[in-house]
Structure 1
């Protein structure tokens, strides 16, 4: 069994990451932050590898405003290619499976086209980040279905419709997870069957938002 944790390495020097406000997001400042954050990620991977931690969820905030092309105009994937390459080599050396989990505002099934457009841009950023590390498709992007909007069946249909428009770089990595409020594992499996996207099961979310209380994780 592999163990791991998400995003923040507490008590280890050189692993804290930084961000900034949009008003301070100049090109030079963003470049400095990205270099700093990639250095921090390298230190995290080194620490995890030396302590036999083989699963790690990378923070979405390493590249500030990465999905907002009006704010972050840097070609960061190429500009920091050597750092990405070094980190990717460490990930492979220590046999760590990394993942990323776009946040609560990355909603593919929103009825608002602007929200959906921004969600797709965010997924494109995450996929490019993992691609830049040189990790294979076993490194996943974990996403919840989204909102219900008073019409769950229609909301599920919208997720399926938008999923079909995603590029293959995203589809190769995207997995759909049950959540603790809106979508049970049964509903996620239904979406998985319709899209071909793998489903990932969160037992703690299921304990709160279960589709079948008669079933147990223990047998």
Structure 2
């Protein structure tokens, strides 16, 4: 089992990511930003290896305007040496990386232009992982999308549009329950139709449950059946509610006592746990140490 965190580090020098506003996104500026961000990513990977963090989500912002026509630079070729070096470190250490396109990447929209842009964005994310040379166990996580006043039709539209994705995207794509629209049972329904792995998110399930009588552990074990050998270990998202914020807001840090209660109930090592928490690597290190103590 690996425990990891998402996108950014706290308190680690030379790991920040940079971007710019659209009007300043000329070729020279973009090349400068991409070079900086890849250097930061390498520093993050080095930090993770030093601290035995073998699970990490790469930020979608690693390539500024990566899926926008404003960025027509063949960055995967220009920076191929950097990608190769970073990817070699990831693979030789046994680290597993992923990416998570944002809320505007909606595959089941009734708007064809939105779907077209979603597919371009998924191609971009796949290109980043492909450029690192990592296999298909290194995943892209996607929510189902909107309801548009007719959830069943929206689910069918996701299934239909999935068919048009590039093979390289399909090999990496996994789907996740969310905290507002699509509960874990609905995501499993889509998974059964598409033969696609499912990521269980505990906090999303707490806020948007399908069956309150069914435990997190029950759902996690059910999701396990959607992961095959080529997909790598089953992966899940774990977070805790910030008691001072609206439902679904991640806590500032992970309460290790609460996490260890969950870990002991899970009673499995064949699963990777991505922490979604404000203090990022700090909580990852805490939880890794707690599991070893």
Give the TM-score band, short-chain normalised.
over 0.9
Per-residue deviation, 1:195: 1.2
Structure 1 distance, partners of 2:121, 2:157, is: 18
Normalising by structure 1, we get a TM-score of 0.98
Q: In the alignment, what sits opposite 1:39?
A: 39
Residue 68 (structure 2) pairs with residue 68 (structure 1) = yes
* 1:218, distance to aligned residue in structure 2 (A): 4.8
Where does residue 115 of structure 2 map in the other structure? 116
- Alignment partners' CA distance in 2, 1:218 and 1:172: 26
Shift of 1:10: 0.9
Matches of 2:112 and 2:216, distance apart in 1: 38
TM-score by length of 2: 0.73
- Structure 1 runs (4+) greater than 2 angstroms displaced: none
3-state SS of paired residue (1:176) = strand
Q: Please, which runs of 5 or more residues in structure 1 have no aligned partner?
A: none
Following superposition, the deviation at residue 153 of structure 1 comes to 0.4
* Further displaced range: 202-211 or 129-138: 202-211
Match of 2:24 in 1: 24
Q: Give the aligned partner of residue 163 of structure 1.
A: 162
Distance 1:102 1:204 in 2: 19
> 1:195 maps to which residue?
194
Q: Establish whether residue 3 from structure 1 lines up as the match of residue 3 from structure 2.
A: yes
What residue is the counterpart of 2:231 in the other structure?
none
Deviation (angstroms), 1:48 = 0.3
After TM superposition, the structure 1 stretch with the greater mean CA deviation from structure 2, 115-124 or 89-98, is 89-98
Task: Give the equivalent residue in structure 1 for 2:290.
Answer: none
2: CA distance, partners of 1:217 / 1:182: 18
Tell me how far apart the structure 2 counterparts of residues 62 and 13 of structure 1 sit (CA, whole Å).
17
Distance 1:22 1:95 in 2: 37
SS in 1 for 2:186: helix
Answer 1 or 2: higher relative contact order, Cα 8 Å, separation at least 6: 2
Gapped regions of structure 2 (runs ≥ 5): 219-293
**What do you get for the CA RMSD once the two structures are aligned?**
0.8
